[in-house]
Amino acid sequence: MRKITTQDLEAIAIGSTVLGTGGGGDPYIGKLMAQNAIEQFGEVPLLDPEEVPDDTLIVPVAAFGAPVILLEKLFNGKEALAAFEMMEKYLGEKIFATMPAEAGGLNGVIPFAVAAEKNIPIIDADGMGRAYPRLEMVTFTLYDIPASPITQADEKGNRSIYHTINNVWGETMVGSTVIPMGGSCFIACYPMSGKQMKEAAVRNVISKAQKLGLAIGEAKQKGISPLNNLLSAGDGKLIFKGKIIDVNVQTDGRWNKGICRLEGLEGYAGQQMQLDFQNEFLIATSGEKVIASVPDLITVLDLETAEPLTIESLQYGYRLNVIAMPCDEKWKSKAGIALGGPSAFGYDSPYVPI
């Protein structure tokens, strides 16, 4: 156990954006909310999964919606807590700890606000080790943990509880109501025991986010390459350097979908890369060749500073490093690739680990 401070959240927010693979929502407002909650209610204990007793109740919390809407639509700051407390009341059992469902972007930091205000620990784990656009795309699904009951809260005061027949239906129900809600809401989901969490979660992903965030920051202080420092911290690989020549985003109320095209720079001059995304980057191709794909992580960084960028901030002319990092081993099983690999998004190329 260690205590997470407001300072720790600076690096965690940056690292969560790296793990967010272009999605997960911009963490800026969420970071401020979490820092504010820590200042008001105290530092948040971060538990290693092994420190969590088996017979405890664990409930992840998350923002839900298209990242571009999460960026633009204000939330009142109490929705995640409302969803969490509705779950606690509905289950009639004290929740021992929370955790991110996805440690990417906004969703990597929001659980800290809830943990601080509820005075409970947060577990150093999530259900992805990255960000994914659909509710059922978590390692919990691979271990047959139901998403239900799912509690949902919006900024207006609407609240729902869903018991769905499977986790895909959880996505369907929350994804249907998020649209009239204005495109974003907050949920608590996948209530599970400490024992289930230890089996099914991706471990130590908050520590990993912090390590990635620190790698970028420290490199600047030391005057070394932030890109190389980050790649080294995350077992990552540089797959392209280029300038955006086209970015096409369509938001249907539930997802940002589109493509981003890059023209190579420096050692990649004369080459092109296409990045397809649905909230998160899904596949990076150069001509016919797949360079990287889900479940591995594809992230874009500013060419100079190596700061990670979210998809909704991308614009023509931006100069980027494109990096890929290996996914958690749980995604490399046959079931994992079926749930979160290229075919889950309609691509017929096989998953080839980077």
By the rule CB under 8 A, 56 interacts with a copy of itself: no
What is the rounded CA–CA span in Å between residue 21 and residue 223? 26
Please say whether the beta carbons of 300 and 320 come within 8 A.
yes
Q: Quick one: which of 173, 209, 227, 294 contacts a copy of itself (CB under 8 A)? A: 173
3 versus 156: smaller Cβ distance to a copy of itself: 156
By the rule CB under 8 A, 172 interacts with a copy of itself: yes
Classified as helix, coil or strand, 185 is strand
* Distance of closest approach, residue 80 Cβ to a copy of itself, in angstroms: 17
User: Which of positions 180-199 make contact with a copy of itself (CB under 8 A)?
Assistant: 180
What is the rounded CA–CA span in Å between residue 12 and residue 15? 5
Query: Beta strands 272-278 and 44-47: pairing type?
Result: unpaired
Read off φ and ψ for residue 321, nearest 5 degrees.
-95, 135
Bridge partners of residue 257, in order along the sequence: 250, 278
Q: Quick one: which of 16, 21, 164, 321 contacts a copy of itself (CB under 8 A)? A: 164
What is the biggest distance separating any 2 CA atoms in the chain, rounded to whole angstroms? 61
H/E stretch holding 71 reads helix 67-72
- Residue-wise DSSP of 109-143: HHHHHHHHHHT--EESEESSSS--SSTT-SHHHHT
* Distance of closest approach, residue 178 Cβ to a copy of itself, in angstroms: 9
* Distance of closest approach, residue 87 Cβ to a copy of itself, in angstroms: 12
Please report, as a single letter, which amino acid is at residue 19.
L
- Residue-wise DSSP of 215-264: HHHHHHHHTS-HHHHHHHHTT-EEEEEEEEEEEEEEE-SS-EEEEEEEEE
Point out which span in 59-67, 125-133, 176-184, 266-274 binds a copy of itself (CB under 8 A). Answer: 176-184
By the rule CB under 8 A, 28 interacts with a copy of itself: no
21 versus 167: smaller Cβ distance to a copy of itself: 167
Binding mask 121-160 for a copy of itself (x = CB under 8 A): -----------------------------------xxxxx
* Distance of closest approach, residue 162 Cβ to a copy of itself, in angstroms: 5
161 versus 303: smaller Cβ distance to a copy of itself: 161
Point out which span in 46-54, 62-70, 169-177, 213-221 binds a copy of itself (CB under 8 A). Answer: 169-177
Residues lying near a copy of itself in the complex (CB under 8 A) are found at 156-165, 169, 172-173, 176-177, 179-180
